[in-house]
Structure 1
Amino acid sequence: MSRSEIDYGRMMHRAMQGLIADVLEDVAAHGLPGEHHFFITFDTREDGVEMADWLRERYPEEMTIVIQHWFENLTVSEDGFTITLNFGNSPEPMRIPFDALRTFVDPSVEFGLRFETQDSDDEDEDEEFEENEGEDGDPPDESPKGGGEVVSLDKWRK
């Protein structure tokens, strides 16, 4: 079986997931350096997402977690990561596959990645990010907005 073209979109998607895996592995081993912290938005409906039932009821489609002051048990595997976060003084373990990720933002250095899905609209392509305050694990009220670097793959897809 031969290929008719190089799938750059899929290759970039894998490379971005690898970058996030490397960052999380470093944080798991050494902690968060300086002012670094992450907003990670993921699709709660994706296969392999594991989270408390009450969180899934509250966030039936998408959720943003904050990795900043308090987190434990961060482990990274080939296909995702597990972490325990604090939600209103209740530690909750979660498993998030890399395929479920929609955005990864480190507002301390204005860096962000967006994972586009095939059925997403291009309207959100220029959305920016800003730092939101909140207790670790509590998702911000809205998606982060402000001056982050966003990588969108859809503009190169046919």
Structure 2
Amino acid sequence: MSGGIDYGNLMHRAMRGLIQNVLEDVRERGLPGEHHFFITFDTQHPDVEIADWLSDRYPGEMTVVLQHRFDNLEVTDDGFAVTLSFGEAPERLYIPYDSIKTFVDPSVEFGLRFETHEDEDEDDPTPPEDGPDGPGEGEAQHDAEVVRLDAFRKQ
């Protein structure tokens, strides 16, 4: 036996699957009650598809809100696409699950945060989003945890 059970990556995949299931339900039935989502993602992830002006404006990460004004939600095994309004201009975004950093539904005080161990490496002063290539294949170990909701509360 070459290694142990990688609970971090198993949890990471399970939580991404939870997001997929929630978004599939929203696509089919709409958002129930007061539910809405704050989704923060890495705009530099190689599979993210957003307009150039958005990636220029948000060079590291971006938070989108799925609440009142979103259209054409498509959910796949790898990510989701949605049309959001920025001002009065609609923009199509594709967000892979692997690019998601946080997923929060403040209406029920539920949240997830996804981190790699490189994000927590205090010996390296360079933030992960500033690295030219990000972590090499097989180097990143992922964790998922419940995120504190204080940052999303209205004052």
Range into which the TM-score falls when normalised by the shorter chain? 0.7 to 0.9
**1:102-132 Cα distance to aligned partner (Å, 9 max, x none):** 0000000000000011212389x896224xx
Q: Match for residue 62 of structure 2?
A: 63
> Structure 1: which amino acid aligns with 2:148?
E
Normalised by the length of structure 1, the TM-score is 0.78
Distance in 1, matches of 2:108 and 2:99, equals 24
Give unmatched runs, 5+ long, in structure 2. Answer: 123-144
Runs of 4+ in structure 1 deviating by more than 2 angstroms, as ranges, are: 125-128
Structure 1 pair 106–127 and aligned structure 2 pair: CA distance change class (3 A): closer
Distance in 2, matches of 1:39 and 1:111, equals 11
Look up the SS of the partner of 1:33 in the other structure: coil
- 1:8-157 correspondence runs (5 A): 8-121=7-120, 128-130=148-150, 144-146=151-153
**1:34-70 Cα distance to aligned partner (Å, 9 max, x none):** 0000000000000110001110000011000000001
Bigger proportion of residues as strand: 2
Q: How many residues align?
A: 131
Q: Is the 8 A contact 2:103 2:111 kept in 1?
A: yes
Residue 72 of structure 1, CA deviation = 0.6
Q: Is the 8 A contact 1:49 1:97 kept in 2?
A: yes
- Give the RMSD, CA atoms, in angstroms: 1.9
Normalised by the length of structure 2, the TM-score is 0.79
Q: Is the 8 A contact 2:112 2:146 kept in 1?
A: no
> Structure 1: which amino acid aligns with 2:39?
I
Identity of aligned residues (%): 61
Q: Is the 8 A contact 2:111 2:146 kept in 1?
A: no
